[in-house]
Structure 1
């Protein structure tokens, strides 16, 4: 009796599938036989044929047989995909990730074992399988340690992916904040020419403080991500704390922007600066339109 390392239930499932595959194979072979019989009955009615007539008959037969074989191969491939779909669907319910080795599908030794199994075991167990029902593929013991570990691993991986996504979002926001800081610095330089360095020193310190806060926030999240394996609970608490810190920084940035805008409006240079920025924005839009002709967005 061939041994594939399966339990009795999985052995029975293999036998059921092989019975199904054999019935489909026999049906297709009967179809091919009928093609030859039809050729004999319809065309082989004379004693002699020319070379062209024989070639024509063989070409027609070849086309018909080729179509039947191709249809059977396609149908077999699609049937195997449906079988794998059932197996993978049941595995995903228990957070399992199945893998396959395509190279083993051409292992001659294993193929010979399958052929031997079809000749012997398939016939021996045919009577037993007729008495059994056709249950759905049963999963492994739900309370097994392996499944619990796989669930926990999948959960941790999901949390890790969320943290990575959150970190990317924070990095984007940090870059945005740095861009805003750069714009504010340029505005401050323009104001320094008109109002002097003394009035703007406090604002410059505030912007530098915000920059340090954003850099510290980014560093804190990178440390939190590297320490993900230490404790899932700590990661969640760090995420909440970082979120609050980010909101506070954003609020400070908003207040700083409002304060800058207020001071801008109090100066005579505000209108000139606004006009310059409007012109620059129009130029940037025009440049982007030109770039899109050569480098379209993905």
Structure 2
């Protein structure tokens, strides 16, 4: 059987369109045939005709046939434009830009390939008994653009989990830094009390002063670390909210796709 180099779904779509085009073509041929038959029935009632009479009949027939054929050609052009519009609209939903090569429309080899394909598909001996009853189904949601949407949702979910884990780690570090700061402040106060009660012990005063300096430095470091962790925590929360919004939007788009496909016959 002749093939067009397309997958099964798209080839079925082509066959469906060719069936529609064959039907329209048959109607056009019947219309032209009826024009000739009308001329025979209405004008060819005498045995002999003058040249002027024959010319008049042929001119009238030409006008009718010309009008019918032109109307059908125009309608075919508009029909093809609507078909292209459907394809381009579907492509634009996934930000694709399709291109056409008009020169291929006059490629004799390709036209013969299409003719052979039509012949193999619609010849009565090769035609499947139930072909007219089979309506091509839409591709499953896990194919094509929907697969891309599923991958996007999965990536967003993974990034969301990573940000949540990072947020928990930063919150733990910030809590630990705050506890350490409280402990250092308490130790510093205790040393200050000891320093005030034992002013007469020079050695202890020097030791207390040294410890006080060390604790103050440690306290300052802890304060700076806490501020850094707090800033990082705020940034991470913002990133988490952004990813959650993206995830929600992607999931809504996926649900919309599923709903649109389920509504189709």
Structure-2-length-normalised TM-score: 0.51
1:183-216, CA deviations, whole angstroms, 9 ceiling, x for partnerless residues? xxxxxxxxxxxxxxxxxxxxxxxxxxxxxxxxxx
Contact 1:39 1:61 in 2 (8 A): yes
Out of 137, 143, 147, which is 1:143 matched to? 147
Match of 2:60 in 1: 60
Match of 1:121 in 2: 121
1:93-152, CA deviations, whole angstroms, 9 ceiling, x for partnerless residues? 11100000000000000000111111113343553533422545887243349x98xxxx
Q: Which SS does the other structure have where 2:129 is aligned? A: helix
Q: Which SS does the other structure have where 1:127 is aligned? A: coil
Match of 1:75 in 2: 75
Q: CA RMSD in A?
A: 2.3
Q: 1:122 & 1:35 partners in 2: Cα distance?
A: 27
Match of 1:95 in 2: 95
Query: Larger RCO: Structure 1 or Structure 2 (Cα < 8 Å, ≥ 6 residues apart)?
Result: 2
Q: What number of residue pairs does the alignment pair up?
A: 147
| Deviation, structure 1 residue 70 | 0.2
Match of 2:135 in 1: 133
**Structure 2 spans left out of the alignment, 5+ residues:** 153-265
Q: 2:87 & 2:131 partners in 1: Cα distance?
A: 20
Match of 2:160 in 1: none
Q: 1:8 & 1:106 partners in 2: Cα distance?
A: 25
Name the larger-Rg structure: 2
Q: 1:6 & 1:87 partners in 2: Cα distance?
A: 15
Q: Which SS does the other structure have where 1:24 is aligned? A: helix
Match of 2:248 in 1: none
Q: 1:38 & 1:131 partners in 2: Cα distance?
A: 36
Contact 2:94 2:145 in 1 (8 A): no
Structure-1-length-normalised TM-score: 0.46
Q: Which SS does the other structure have where 2:147 is aligned? A: coil
Match of 1:16 in 2: 16
**Structure 1 spans left out of the alignment, 5+ residues:** 149-298
Contact 1:12 1:129 in 2 (8 A): no
Q: 1:107 & 1:114 partners in 2: Cα distance?
A: 11
Q: Which SS does the other structure have where 1:120 is aligned? A: helix
Q: 1:9 & 1:3 partners in 2: Cα distance?
A: 13
| Deviation, structure 1 residue 5 | 1.2
Q: 1:59 & 1:86 partners in 2: Cα distance?
A: 41
